[in-house]
Chains A and B, each alone.
Chain A
Amino acid sequence: MPAFPRIIEEDYQRITAALNAFLSRSEASNALIVEKAGYLIVECGEEPPFDTAELATLAANAFAATQFMADRLSETNFSSMFQQGEQTSVLWTNVEENTLLVTVFDASQSMGAVKYYAAETAAEIARQISIAQGRDQTGGLDLAHLDPSSADDVFRKKSAPDDSNESDDGHAPAAK
């Protein structure tokens, strides 16, 4: 299967425009394009009261779990998933093999309308991703002069680590 392609400015603008048009028609509050391994690609909508990267990861993995269920039920896939909340609802819509549209909307809204517009938007975004997949995926990011030895300390440990040791792996607390 083709991998999720590199996104260039043109893709980003077209996907953003499609999401904004979708939000305007559906009156949903937020729309996220999520790669199914858990990466947030594009987000549109109101200033969210939640961490969108975190929501993207949870949404991608929850949807992936339903695909395993589909497989066990001899279904090719489930094209959408819905969770009704008291205040907020979430709709997952399959865009293409690697991509999902996650829509967050007020629970008082009609799911049918959101689902209808989401399906249209998903088809439009799938076309753009297909265009992106058709481009050469090898150029555009030259890392030739990057020195990997500089990665020795990409992640540095703080000099005075927090010592609040609680472990789930069978250790007794360290002596202080």
Chain B
Amino acid sequence: MAIINQAKKEIQVKIVYYGPAQCGKTTNLEKVHADVETADPAHKDKMVSLATSSDRTLFFDFLPIEAMSIKGYKTKFQLYTVPGQVIYNTTRQLVLRGVDGIVFVADSQYDKMEENVESLANLEDNLKTLRMDIKDIPYVLQYNKQDLPNIAPVEYMEFLLNNREVQVPSFKASAFQSEGVFETLNMITKMLLHKFINQGG
């Protein structure tokens, strides 16, 4: 859960990018890091990637990013990715600890639909292990890789991934081209602010 430090006038929030292997989670963070407008580019926060020698996420990617002040409080967002490969499930549980908001990145290619569905089910299972419920956590869906030719229609992806009592916001994206990346991030931010308001902070 978010950390509120009244002494330092700081709110710290954790957002995790989740999804199947090679769906573009790391690319989302790379594009935020590369393209975000900052007041002071000389002191831009660094992105940390703990990756294998073949550039696959081994542990997590981490990008600290500071946003607007809320009532005089600095808001610091910590963006994480999890490793998508199936064998790293324990690591995914570890990174989910204390999560405030989730961006589920789905791969829009037809042949990745099964992996998307499995990964979303895996997210729900891992949250349960951590005694959290996906219904209580703001999350958004991002249908990534829209620039590729063999993609499934959005309606089909909605049916597979967003077919719930309460649907969540979803975005088409091509993270590689930095399209849809900021829309997704701003929406999860907005949902988190709504949650804080409803909880009185």
Query: Which residues of chain A from 1 to 51 have a CB within 8 Å of any chain B CB?
Result: 3-4, 6-9, 11-13, 35-39, 41, 51
**Complex formed: what's the CA distance from A155 to B59 in Å?**
26
| B interface majority secondary structure | mixed
Minimal beta-carbon separation of A111 from chain B (angstroms)? 25
A134 at the interface (CB under 8 A from B): no
B62 at the interface (CB under 8 A from A): yes
Q: Which residues of B contact A161 (CB under 8 A)?
A: 31, 34-35, 178
Do B190 and A151 have beta carbons less than 8 Å apart?
Answer: yes
Do B1 and A3 have beta carbons less than 8 Å apart?
Answer: yes
Tally of A interface residues using CB under 8 Å: 53
Question: Which of B22-30, B114-122, B162-170 lies at the interface with chain A?
Answer: B22-30
Do B55 and A168 have beta carbons less than 8 Å apart?
Answer: yes
Known: A36-B97, A141-B73, A143-B197. A156 touches B78 (CB 8 A): no
Query: Which residues of chain B from 65 to 98 have a CB within 8 Å of any chain A CB?
Result: 65, 67-68, 70-71, 73, 78, 80, 90-91, 93-95, 97-98
Q: Mark B23-65, 1 if CB is under 8 A from A, else 0.
A: 1101100011011110000000110100000011001101011
The residue in chain A whose Cβ has the minimal distance to the Cβ of B24 is A169
Query: Which residues of chain A from 150 to 176 have a CB within 8 Å of any chain B CB?
Result: 150-158, 161-162, 164-165, 167-171, 174
A138 at the interface (CB under 8 A from B): yes
A-B interface pairs (CB < 8 A), number:
170
Do A146 and B6 have beta carbons less than 8 Å apart?
Answer: no
The residue in chain B whose Cβ has the minimal distance to the Cβ of A11 is B7
Q: Which residues of A contact B201 (CB under 8 A)?
A: 138-143
The one of A7, A141, A143 in contact with B7, judged by C-beta atoms closer than 8 angstroms, is A7
Minimal beta-carbon separation of B189 from chain A (angstroms)? 5
Q: Which residues of B contact A141 (CB under 8 A)?
A: 4, 6, 11, 71, 73, 200-201
Do A61 and B59 have beta carbons less than 8 Å apart?
Answer: yes
A112 at the interface (CB under 8 A from B): no
Do B67 and A154 have beta carbons less than 8 Å apart?
Answer: yes
Do B64 and A169 have beta carbons less than 8 Å apart?
Answer: no
Do A6 and B4 have beta carbons less than 8 Å apart?
Answer: yes
Do A57 and B95 have beta carbons less than 8 Å apart?
Answer: no
Known: A53-B64, A169-B27. A154 touches B186 (CB 8 A): yes
Q: Which residues of A contact B68 (CB under 8 A)?
A: 150, 154
Q: Which residues of A contact B178 (CB under 8 A)?
A: 157, 161
Known: A38-B98, A51-B46, A162-B35. A8 touches B71 (CB 8 A): no
B134 at the interface (CB under 8 A from A): no
Do A37 and B14 have beta carbons less than 8 Å apart?
Answer: yes
Do B90 and A146 have beta carbons less than 8 Å apart?
Answer: no
Known: A41-B5, A61-B95, A174-B176. A155 touches B189 (CB 8 A): yes
Minimal beta-carbon separation of B74 from chain A (angstroms)? 12
Known: A144-B197, A168-B22, A171-B176. A7 touches B6 (CB 8 A): yes
Do A171 and B148 have beta carbons less than 8 Å apart?
Answer: yes
**Complex formed: what's the CA distance from A158 to B38 in Å?**
9
Q: Which residues of B contact A157 (CB under 8 A)?
A: 35-37, 178, 181-182
Q: Which residues of B contact A107 (CB under 8 A)?
A: none
Do A171 and B147 have beta carbons less than 8 Å apart?
Answer: yes
Given A35-B3, A54-B64, A152-B190, 5 extra CB contacts under 8 A: A7-B5, A54-B46, A57-B48, A141-B11, A141-B73
For the complex of A and B, list the 7 residue pairs with the smallest distance between their C-beta atoms, beginning with the closest: A37-B98, A12-B7, A141-B201, A151-B190, A156-B37, A161-B35, A148-B193
